[in-house]
Amino acid sequence: MTSHESSRVAEIHRELHSHLPSESALRIKALESLLVEKGLLDSRAVDAWVEAYSEEIGPRRGARVVARAWADPDFKARLLADGTAAISELGFQGYALAHLKVVENTEAVHNLVVCTLCSCYPIGILGIPPTWYKMAEYRARAVREPRSVLTEFGVEIGDEVEVRIWDSTSELRYLVLPRRPAGAEAMDEAALASLVTRNCMIGAGQALSPGAGAGTGTGTGTGEHG
């Protein structure tokens, strides 16, 4: 086998294993299966909670926060000064929100959030973190080559724009306040919220343009998406 073939085999091996569930995920699935088998847990209840965190508790909550900031300059100022206090005005409190810092995208700065140690994430307003956010590839490359990662997510920014990386921890979580898209000046908060995607609140995406679609979609990018 030539060295080229050997490198290709190694690359394929890494690619295949990158899509395997983590050891902790496999343990959780085994525990869930055991509890269901013993009649102590209803799998439909688990699915309902997963759906709630994925689609209802977040990222719709985060979209409401962003829309309020776009529509209300005073709220935006409070949000950037103290994220936790500002989102509590909307009734959003709880797990992973005690220390929330909001960073704003501007014409000169684009922010990208990562957790290099694990997958710390503001679940209370963004829901369950996407698979790619937890993958080692994203956690490493977001720090080393953020512009390449952003390009793979379809985010094109000029060389003159500074890219800032924010590393989440168990004590401090981040939310990106994306730029309000052109043409959305006359939209109310409900309509504005429909332009906010989960990915743009991580920095791995941009807000949708009016008429381009609605919802809190996931977008695309490095690794497995969802």
Could you give the 3-state DSSP secondary structure of residue 135? coil
Q: Name the catalytic one among 7, 33, 43, 118.
A: 118
Q: Name the catalytic one among 120, 168, 194, 200.
A: 120
Beta strand 100-104 with 173-177: parallel, antiparallel or unpaired? parallel
Distance of CA 153 to the CA centre of its chain: 12
The CB-side HSE value for 96 (13 A sphere, CA atoms) comes to 19
18 in catalytic set: no
Report how far residue 69's alpha carbon sits from residue 77's, in angstroms, rounded to the nearest whole number. 8
Question: What's the Rg (C-alpha) of the chain?
Answer: 19
Q: Which residues contact 186 (CB under 8 A, 6 or more apart)?
A: none
Q: Judging by beta carbons within 10 Å of its beta carbon (0-12, 13-18, 19+), is residue 164 exposed, middle or buried?
A: middle
Phi-psi label, residue 219: left if phi above 0, alpha if psi -120 to 50, beta otherwise: left
Q: Name the catalytic one among 115, 168, 194, 200.
A: 115
200 in catalytic set: no
Strands (E), the chain: 100-104, 109-114, 162-167, 173-177
Among candidates 77, 79, 66, which has minimal Cα distance to 207? 66
Q: Give me the active site residues, please.
A: 115, 118-120
